[in-house]
Amino acid sequence: MDTVRARLDLAYDGTFFHGWAAQPGLRTVEGELVRALSLIARQEVAVTVAGRTDAGVHADHQVAHVDLPAQVWDSLPGRSSRTPEDALVDRLASLLTRAHGDFMKAHGLMSPRGYCDVALLSSHRVPETFDARFSAVGRHYVYRLLDQRAGSDPFSGRRIWTVPARQTLNLEAMAEAASSVIGEHDFLSFCKPREGATTIRTLRQLDVVAAGETSPILVRVHADAFCHSMVRSLVGALIDVGTGRRSPAWMRHLLDARSREAAAPLAPAHGLTLAHVDYPPADQWARRAQQTRAVRSLGCC
């Protein structure tokens, strides 16, 4: 059967989701998206995503791909003048909004009319050499938090973590600690390893930015890829340094330990947002996917 590969760019509020990955009996982003796409395709479909976010984590710009039957793709516009790409976005938006409304009603929750916690930003037809997960060359996350310097923000509570006891963080100490773990390392002390998967990653950016006394502190994180809970562990370790529980040198010692017994503390999920996913030019998609699938060791690949 001929198929068409579609790239899907989306954003979501992770508050009422049990993460990205489909789980029986639980509401997840993948589960909602697959259910809507399967209705459109009139058959079961599978979705591949750039980054599987944890429960409660948000995304400003997530990327996924799906293979749809060519006949379904061609029929998406119906009698309208829309492109299949635009028609797919409209169909998905309608189905996801309806499903969101049903969920809120079933749980006695209120939300503005027409609101949905998943937004399809765009869709594009792409060649089969594009793989949302394996063609990516980088992921960017932002963690937002408040300390004693800023007043509480009732409108952003879903996306910002307030440091317990409203302590004032030592940003200079956090920056010193962050700089010590930049580069290619085995991040086992900051990851929950999956069987058969490596915990070696290249961390390209980990910095702490305070835009102003009343603005959230931003922890910006960029790597080629992340292992499970890695970003929240890095932020949790930085918080321990910023509150004075640990010295800046401790973070490097923790990295070098490569041990789950000395694992870093986890920052809460709701402060974390997937900001962006990087891809190489189209003619490098297949090569990048092949490189990413290869088993990785330190100093290699």
In whole angstroms, give the CA distance from residue 255 to residue 222. Answer: 17
Picking from 39, 42, 120, the residue whose alpha carbon sits closest to that of residue 86 is: 120
DSSP state string for 218-281: EEEEEES---TTHHHHHHHHHHHHHTTSS-HHHHHHHHHH--STTPPPPPPGGGEEEEEEE---
Known catalytic residue at 54: yes
Query: Which residues, listed in sequence order, are joined to residue 217 by a DSSP beta bridge?
Result: 145, 210
Catalytic residue among 13, 54, 131, 224: 54
Contacting residues for 157 by C-beta, under 8 A, at least 6 apart: none
Q: Considering Cα of 260, then 264, then 265, then 270, what sign does the dihedral take?
A: negative
Known catalytic residues are 54
